[in-house]
Amino acid sequence: MASDANTCWLKVEPNSVFTVNGLGWYNQNNGSFCRLPLSREKEIAAANPSTWRLSQCPVDARIRFKTDSSQLKLRITPGNDESSRFDMWHMSSVAVSGIDLYIGAPGNQDFWLNTHPKKGSDICDHVFFEKKVCQMREFTLYLPSYTNIKALEIGLDPNAMISAPSDYKHKKPIVIYGTSITQGGCASRCSNSFIGITGRRLNSDVINLGFSGSGNGDELLAELMSQLDASVYIVDPLANMNEYMHRYEKFVNILRSRHPEIPIVLMTEIHFAYEIDDQLESAKKYGLKHKILFETYHKLKESGDKNVYVFDAGAIIKAGGDHPTVDGSHLTDAGFYAIAEKLAPLLENIIKSTGK
């Protein structure tokens, strides 16, 4: 705890007053804002260096707390990895590096503000508000989708009350594995990945294991994913699986063998804008990949598995028309909402039916 004249700075760390959701190995990683276990870095990086690099982007991780502080500030120590991005050609700096603030308990959250990211590796302070009436408010901060964070401190009144946030209605997280699209590319701000939106709609915790360009179905990732208890597993790597589809069934089977009871949702791939020009070739490629998806699904069903589902994202995002992507392949917020609109009720029914 450090203090300025009128602000008390509290570090976000394990066993602090702040609850951190969405990072599966947060305590084991000693509070690193990393989405995979630090102890497995070598193996993960050996399988795919990008997976490791992108695991440092804490998309859909949330810091939650209640406080009656009249001020709320954030001191951000950027990740010092040189590969850490600030913005991209199709994602603004607030989309890549911003932190979104919501007010209200889960199930009743309002987006309020976000940070205005500053380029470089300097520590920077962001004032969300100050001089407000002191009253208990509940906050959720969504961490960046595509950049690294080394450390965070939250600045409150020195005498502020701080207490634990409300529980999610569904405490066990929805855990999703996938691609850049899963990771929230190209949402306009970090909390608008489709699983982030879905989590808010369902009042559920989520863990996002989307890795841009790297959702290649590595067996290792299935093993790591299966370490996480979940209300539902969602398997959404198809856009990155072109030459890796031989891994698909095994990936799913690893999850199923370790967790016979956790529902598994297999997501189809969205359609890309370029497919309008290339309909036969695209349909062939799409068909080949999805043949394997459906074979995996049917084999499980035929073996008596009552907890495996297909979610057809490709039926929602089709080629043609206005196509809700920034660049023909990465969804805009309109695309992410279209997915969440259909995914949320499916997951709600699944979670209800399993009583989790």
Taking CB under 8 A as the binding criterion, the range among 40-48, 66-74, 110-118, 284-292 that sits at the site for its own copies is 110-118
Q: Which is nearer to its own copies, 68 or 327 (CB)?
A: 327
Q: Which is nearer to its own copies, 286 or 337 (CB)?
A: 337
CB 267 within 8 A of CB 236: yes
CB 237 within 8 A of CB 245: no
- 334-346 as b/e, with b when 16 or more CB fall inside 10 Å? ebbebbbebbbeb
Q: Which is nearer to its own copies, 101 or 154 (CB)?
A: 101
Total interface residues for its own copies by CB under 8 A: 46
87 binds its own copies, rule: CB under 8 A = yes
212 binds its own copies, rule: CB under 8 A = no
Q: Which is nearer to its own copies, 173 or 324 (CB)?
A: 324
Q: Which is nearer to its own copies, 14 or 107 (CB)?
A: 107
112 binds its own copies, rule: CB under 8 A = yes
Read off the tokens for 214.
């790297």
Q: Is residue 166 packed enough to be buried (19+ CB in 10 Å), middle (13-18) or exposed (0-12)?
A: middle
Residue 189 beta carbon to its own copies: minimum distance, rounded to whole angstroms: 6
Q: Which is nearer to its own copies, 48 or 198 (CB)?
A: 198
147 binds its own copies, rule: CB under 8 A = no
* Residues 171-210 interacting with its own copies (rule: CB under 8 A): 186, 188-189, 192, 197, 200
Read off the tokens for 94.
């607030």
107 binds its own copies, rule: CB under 8 A = no
Read off the tokens for 326.
């920034």
* Residues 259-318 interacting with its own copies (rule: CB under 8 A): 273-274, 276-277
Q: How far apart are CA 318 and CA 179, in angstroms?
A: 18
250 binds its own copies, rule: CB under 8 A = no
Read off the tokens for 118.
């500053």
The helix (H) or strand (E) run that includes residue 24 is none
114 binds its own copies, rule: CB under 8 A = yes
Per CB under 8 A, the list member of 16, 92, 203, 253 interacting with its own copies is 92
The helix (H) or strand (E) run that includes residue 114 is strand 110-114
Q: How far apart are CA 143 and CA 146, in angstroms?
A: 9
Please report, to the nearest 10 degrees, the dihedral formed by the alpha carbons of residues 234, 173, 45, 259 taken in order: -60
Taking CB under 8 A as the binding criterion, the range among 56-64, 67-75, 86-94, 148-156 that sits at the site for its own copies is 86-94
Residue 101 beta carbon to its own copies: minimum distance, rounded to whole angstroms: 10
Residue 218 beta carbon to its own copies: minimum distance, rounded to whole angstroms: 30
Is the preceding peptide bond at 34 cis, omega within 30 degrees of 0? no
125 binds its own copies, rule: CB under 8 A = no
Tokens 């590595």 belong to residue: 218
Helices and strands of the chain, counted as H and E runs: 9, 16
Residue 266 beta carbon to its own copies: minimum distance, rounded to whole angstroms: 26
Residue 289 beta carbon to its own copies: minimum distance, rounded to whole angstroms: 22
Residue 337 beta carbon to its own copies: minimum distance, rounded to whole angstroms: 5
- Report the sign of the C-alpha dihedral through residues 52, 53, 56, 58, in that order: negative
Tokens 């043949």 belong to residue: 291
Best CA proximity match to 266, nearest among 203, 193, 324, 346? 346
Question: Where along the sequence are the contacts to its own copies (CB under 8 A)?
Answer: 87-95, 103, 109-114, 116-117, 129, 132, 186, 188-189, 192, 197, 200, 273-274, 276-277, 319-328, 332-337
